[in-house]
Structure 1
Amino acid sequence: MITTNPFDDDKLREECGIFGVSGADTASAIVALGLHALQHRGQEAAGITSWDGHDFHTHRAMGHVAGNFDRDEVIRGLPGGSACGHVRYSTTGETSLRNVQPLYAELNSGGFAVAHNGNISNAMKVRRELIRRGSIFQSTSDTEVIIHLVATSSYRTLLDKFIDALKQVEGAYSLIVMTPEGMIACRDPLGIRPLVMGKLGDTIMFASETVAFDVVGAEYIRSIDPGELVIVTNSGEIRSHRPFGEVHPRPCIFEHVYFSRPDSIVDGSSVYSVRKAIGAQLAIENPVEADYVIPVPDSGVPAAIGYAQESGIPFELGIIRSHYIGRTFIQPGDKVRHLGVKLKHNANRALIEGKKIVLIDDSIVRGTTSLKIVQMMREAGAAEVHMRIASPPTKHSCFYGVDTPERTKLLAHKLDVGGMQDFIHADSLSFISIDGLYKALGEAKRADGRPQYCDACFTGDYPTTLTDQDDVVVTNQLELLAERVA
């Protein structure tokens, strides 16, 4: 099976999406609706766990929310006033049902369910130590180390056990946890991954993005602060804890560039407005003479609008996307595979033929997407094809819950901008600068040079230690040295 959407294949994969509801008559039904709005964050699998005051109930399945959680019998099997859900795109752990979240375990304190967006960057090291001490793992997911750390903590209360566990992990995490005592929502001290709080009557909700609240008619209250734990008890009491020392936050900058839906609010900013501002700044930094500004659908649309408004070049839809084609179909040969590209995206030939166009996309990863797009435009008769990218060159891999290729497969790691331009066969290629990106976000690097965001995929400036990755590098170096000695 080969994907029919080569444009999506060459994107940084959204991490995961989480949604929790506390204090509702039909909590699991609300969660299912919210997960529909977060489907873009993970399309591999989905799961919901509910609590009815006595027992926990879980349903997990491979595939989309639709088809798995839109049946009455499934929702009836998830009773209770509290529920949390998860949509997954795996960044660690194999693709199998045992890794689908929420993960659930029976601890000494009772049931414990956790939904996680992010990646624990020292999970392998912690896992090895836990196994040495006798822990038995049921999945290959990094999230499971949190459950074992809670279970083996020597602290007395469940909250203290949970905080103790979090202080032993590194990396990025936004978590929704369900226990017999209530629901906990927390965000890592750097705030790398997003998490927001909403309300519908007396019902409290937590989600990766505000669009989940829009779908269920809830009011967006605020973002969960970096390093904050918000507890909602079964009686509806809300408490906030800040157990970590103060740290300079570094939320993921790519949430604004690509991951979040444009109708979301991320850390107080409209994603749509930010992307338009990025496009405007891109036009200021990288002007070009052209007849039309054309977005690469769908993620390039807001930036293309901003570019068009700033440059005065008309905005047009030069690539038409079909939303009614499944992700995969059987392609027996190269010729059919090439034809399959046009099932989802097709050039608007009547518009493009004989014109100079500037294409706006959010990023270049391997470069295969851009190559096919430029080729499509030339086959449609474009006189010139210029490409402008609404993010700096992606030169480094992400280890915080985003599925990126290894660094050697990133086009910007292998080639400079001129080489990338030749690779995709464009008449010109330009990226927004890192300073321009910050300017579009209304931010600036602090006087001491520290960035306001995690921009490691562009700069290589990782905000945390990367214990597991460093261990892999050392192991590879030792193996290489041993081969040379032998």
Structure 2
Amino acid sequence: MTGDAHTPDRRLPSHPFDPDDDKLREECGVYGVFGAPDAASFVALGLHALQHRGQEAAGVAAHEGEPNGFNIVRRLGHVRDSFTTAEVIKALPGRLALGHVRYSTAGAKGATAIRDVQPLYAEFAQGGFAIAHNGNIVNADALRAELIERGSIFQSSSDTECIVHLMARSIQRSAAERMKDALRRVEGAYSIIAMTRSKMIGVRDPLGVRPLVLGRAGDAWILSSESCALDIVGAEFVRDVAPGEMVIISDDGVESQFPFQPSKPRFCVFEYVYFSRPDSVIGGLSVYETRRRIGVELAREAPVEADLICPVPDSGTPAAIGYSQESGVPYAMGIIRNQYVGRTFIEPSEQIRNMGVRLKLNVNRAVVAGKRVVLVDDSVVRGTTSRKIKEMVLDAGAAEVHLRIASPPTTWPCFYGVDTPDKEKLLAATMSEEEMRDHLGVDSLRFVSLDGLYRACGVAEGRDDRAPQFCDACFSGDYPVAPSDRIAQGRLKLAAE
């Protein structure tokens, strides 16, 4: 649909916002190193590569050997602000270390409390234990209430602490066996790296919702949320940790166990859409190539007469390239992102606040002026960013603005480690596609279909509605693990009900 056929509301009142706040928030990232003389240095570099998965806080735990034992540094802010100094790394000696970057998905919302920053540490009868967790426990409220009733004293609001208390109550002797006991009580999604004085443990939930990979650098073994964080330390990618697998790394090598009831894997499909870095390989698929193929599917499903394909940087870039290649419409960087503006920019006046988006994104006027522009983005959450960017492109002289989204409409919140707005705050949950187009004020709006997304992820026949191959609950409402805490609170009614 063109501007001649429909004249959208092109002028919308401006309001302060950060374009990065209109995204589904990254979950967390975990990284562990066993067998390197300066393991904490490796972990700090790995966390740099995983910074996109959590930008509120970071922590590193290391073990030097007795009598000094465990040392832990946990700080608010970016990795570069806390873990790049020689003094900090010197305070974390040892050949075993693990780290975590965090965005709060459970526990305190808004400002992160230092007590919730991971890794968490505990002393068991068998010795010290550190744990870092990516994901979310959907029965954490029920477990927490039960544990408190039985005398547990919680030191944080993190759902990860439930695992620690469950382990403390296990009668098993080893940390690995205690963890198995604990995780059999846990519902939800988890990729965990944990560490004792002499071993490192990595485990994924039986559905494999969140990613975890195994790598090697010389004699050192590495566990990481993504393969891109292996590259930064020159490590070799060995394999993905399988859904439901526990790997135990010691001086004897890597031992693999499958202690949980087998389930059909349901890896988070949104990792391919947005969360993972494009240079990662997860589940045997290149994230970049998968996103490019999503753009190809989108061009086949939703063609439009246009002069220019333009990504909304940076997450829309691979899909925009695929859309351009399939459609034959030229690709250009019509929007430029300023990489050097952080979240802490001081906004001293209303006028400056209303310019907030321009601090990070600026339209390349010479490229878009007079053109029918197709903007390609990864998703629409609340729609505030899409509206503002559309205004900027029109202000730069574009003749038409068409919006193409490289994911299906986001209509349901995620409870597996992603901070998602409540359902009523998701634009696609409250409006039809046509209503969204009017609301956003674009000449046309189309999303890739769920089948198209599956095809881009290598499932040629599309989604099997009877047995979906991925977790796509944010699009379908088909939750592979019922979010029991939310249901008990009366805050969620499932699609099937």
TM-score under structure 1 length normalisation: 0.95
Tell me the amino acid that sits aligned with residue 403 of structure 1. D
Q: Distance in 1 between matches of 2:356 and 2:290?
A: 34
Q: Distance in 1 between matches of 2:90 and 2:16?
A: 36
| DSSP 3-state at the match of 1:28 | helix
Structure 1 residue aligned with 2:164: 147
Q: 2:102 aligned to 88, 96, 99, which one?
A: 88
Structure 1 residue aligned with 2:137: 120
Structure 2 residue aligned with 1:99: 116
Q: 1:73 aligned to 87, 95, 98, which one?
A: 87
Q: Does residue 189 of the first structure (1) align with residue 215 of the second (2)?
A: no
Q: Does residue 373 of the first structure (1) align with residue 389 of the second (2)?
A: yes
Per-residue CA deviations over 1:254-310 (Å, capped at 9, x if unaligned) read: 000000000000111000000000000000000001000000000000000000000
Structure 2 residue aligned with 1:484: none
Q: Distance in 2 between matches of 1:474 and 1:116?
A: 25
The structural deviation recorded for 1:334 is 3.4
Contact 2:126–2:173, Cα closer than 8 Å, also in 1:
no
Structure 2 residue aligned with 1:271: 287
The structural deviation recorded for 1:172 is 0.3
Q: How does 1:275-286 map to 2 (within 5 A)?
A: 275-286=291-302
RMSD of aligned residue pairs (Cα, Å): 1.5
Structure 1 residue aligned with 2:25: 13
Tell me the amino acid that sits aligned with residue 82 of structure 1. L
User: Which stretch shifts more, 274-283 or 446-455?
Assistant: 446-455
Equivalenced residue count is 473
| DSSP 3-state at the match of 1:329 | coil
Tell me the amino acid that sits aligned with residue 58 of structure 1. I
Per-residue CA deviations over 1:122-170 (Å, capped at 9, x if unaligned) read: 0110010000000000000000000000000123333221101000000
The structural deviation recorded for 1:449 is 2.0
Per-residue CA deviations over 1:43-79 (Å, capped at 9, x if unaligned) read: 0000000011220100000000002000001001001
Q: Distance in 1 between matches of 2:418 and 2:203?
A: 19
Q: Distance in 1 between matches of 2:356 and 2:134?
A: 33
Instruction: Name stretches of at least 5 consecutive residues in structure 1 with no aligned partner.
Output: 477-486
Q: Distance in 1 between matches of 2:332 and 2:17?
A: 22
Tell me the amino acid that sits aligned with residue 309 of structure 2. V
Q: Distance in 2 between matches of 1:474 and 1:88?
A: 25
Contact 2:295–2:318, Cα closer than 8 Å, also in 1:
yes
Q: 2:320 aligned to 304, 316, 319, which one?
A: 304
Contact 1:4–1:343, Cα closer than 8 Å, also in 2:
no
The structural deviation recorded for 1:353 is 1.0
Structure 1 residue aligned with 2:221: 204
| DSSP 3-state at the match of 2:324 | helix
Q: Using a 3 Å threshold, how does the CA distance of structure 1 residues 461 and 447 change in structure 2: closer, same or farther?
A: closer
Structure 2 residue aligned with 1:240: 256
Q: 2:76 aligned to 62, 70, 82, which one?
A: 62
Q: Does residue 341 of the first structure (1) align with residue 341 of the second (2)?
A: no
Identical aligned residues as a percent = 58
Contact 2:176–2:201, Cα closer than 8 Å, also in 1:
no
Q: 2:442 aligned to 421, 426, 434, which one?
A: 426
Structure 2 residue aligned with 1:482: none
Q: Distance in 2 between matches of 1:296 and 1:446?
A: 27
Tell me the amino acid that sits aligned with residue 302 of structure 1. P
Contact 2:16–2:355, Cα closer than 8 Å, also in 1:
no
Q: Using a 3 Å threshold, how does the CA distance of structure 1 residues 5 and 78 change in structure 2: closer, same or farther?
A: farther
Per-residue CA deviations over 1:69-96 (Å, capped at 9, x if unaligned) read: 0000100100100000000001011111
TM-score under structure 2 length normalisation: 0.93
Contact 2:204–2:241, Cα closer than 8 Å, also in 1:
yes
Q: Distance in 2 between matches of 1:228 and 1:346?
A: 45
Q: Distance in 2 between matches of 1:288 and 1:446?
A: 25
Per-residue CA deviations over 1:341-368 (Å, capped at 9, x if unaligned) read: 2121111111111110000000000010
Q: How does 1:290-439 map to 2 (within 5 A)?
A: 290-439=306-455
